A = this chain, B = another copy of it.
């Protein structure tokens, strides 16, 4: 139990908590936090254990507060297109529950994650280009503060100008300012139609140019994903497919059928220079097309069996993608690392899977060298070290470069709200 709670899916070495506490209600969370506060023991909120950067690790020991049993869906309001859920509900469970309402919650990521964890790490995913990230889709929260006080932030109104935005302050704070126990979320109507296409280009530049134009035209993009030639090669090997080993876009348009048909025709025009533009004509074809996309990570890992790799996570202004990618490919070429690329190109966010053997110090150093150079390049281009995975322990060394003196403002807030530093200590930044 302690081992499981101190590692999750991160590439970092496990750091076990001293104990695991299972909480079943906000009141139980508050009770646990009050005791920890009195005894000055670290509290590490634990949702589904899917975080990638060591957010659930216990570098100072303490209590892993497992919230996975807080899985009730308290309210669904179809008229207002919102719902209130406990933090341990997964996005899959919520969408399953919503199935007959015609509504859905759109944040769509690779992991089987809890909604509380997704808020804590400001998660996003393939549909962020259309619907935004957790930052945009949470209306209100219940939070247990570091002294055990229970507060409510936000509410059910679609907007408010009433004071500081504590909801957004808690989102992305990775459990360092309190424990999110309940969330009120925006929901959306399931669009009438979806149509998907796959499209290869001679270069990343040409693919990106098509994306920029599609965004400027306001096409009804639901997803727009990019893979590079290395990733396409990995997919062909893994799936036995014969896809062009060229930069490739997966695109999904959703909306009314007239709109989708109109926008798909426009997209085909925009992608005029593409090598190949395949529209999925049936639901099965679309589903096959997206299945290929979803195997990308496994296909990448299969290039070096038994190796997990680090997933980088920079995000830059979309127009900077080609320059950012070509700069990092030059760095990668000076190493022995194989690094397939896949990304949420509509947001400027991409992942390189840095395949390396953690037992080989030379490869570890090469992976670190690539990641730190990538982050430097992204920050120089006005981007960020992490688009969606969060900071945890893994990205801490890069926050000073990204935020400069703003990092001290973050520290000031942390000290004010958690003077004893019991809430997930050592994460995001050192005090």
Contacts and interface: CB of A to CB of B under 8 A. Distances in A.
Interface of A: 77-82, 102-103, 121-124, 128, 132-133, 135-136, 145, 149-153, 155-166, 168-169, 171-173, 177, 188-189, 191, 212, 215-218, 255-256, 258-259, 262-263, 313, 315-320, 347-349, 378, 381-391, 395, 398-399, 402-407, 409-410, 412-413, 415-417, 428-429
Given A151-B405, A153-B406, A189-B216, A391 B317 contact: no
Given A166-B406, A412-B417, A415-B416, A315 B172 contact: no
A-B pairs with lowest CB-CB distance, top 10 = A416-B416, A168-B168, A156-B382, A79-B319, A160-B384, A151-B406, A80-B317, A157-B315, A259-B259, A122-B161
Contacts of A387: 157, 159-161
B428 A163 contact: yes
Nearest to A257: B262
Contact of A189 (B133, B217, B428): B217
A402 B162 contact: yes
B162 A128 contact: no
B123 A161 contact: yes
B172 A317 contact: no
A258 B258 contact: yes
Interface centre among A168, A173, A387, A404 (most CB of B within 10 A): A168
Contacts of A188: 218
Given A168-B165, A218-B188, A318-B80, A159 B385 contact: no
A212 B187 CA distance: 13
A55 to B, nearest CB: 10
B155 A133 contact: no
19 contacts: A80-B318, A145-B409, A151-B409, A152-B403, A156-B317, A156-B383, A157-B349, A157-B384, A159-B349, A159-B384, A161-B313, A162-B399, A162-B402, A163-B403, A163-B407, A163-B428, A164-B410, A409-B417, A412-B416
Oligomer copy total:
2
Given A160-B384, A165-B169, 9 more contacts: A81-B216, A133-B159, A157-B383, A159-B384, A161-B172, A162-B384, A162-B385, A162-B402, A164-B413
Contact of A163 (B103, B262, B315, B391): B391
Nearest to A405: B151
Contacts of A417: 409, 412-413
Contacts of A399: 162-163
B158 A163 contact: no
A163 B385 CA distance: 10
A121 B160 CA distance: 10
Contacts of A132: 136
Contact of A122 (B151, B152, B165, B413): B165
A275 to B, nearest CB: 23
A315 B158 contact: yes
Contacts of A410: 163-164, 166
A389 to B, nearest CB: 6
A343 to B, nearest CB: 12
A162 B317 contact: no
A217 to B, nearest CB: 6
A391 B161 CA distance: 7
Contacts of A415: 416
Contacts of A258: 258-259, 262
A82 B132 CA distance: 16
Nearest to A396: B163
A405 to B, nearest CB: 5
B256 A121 contact: no
A416 B189 CA distance: 42
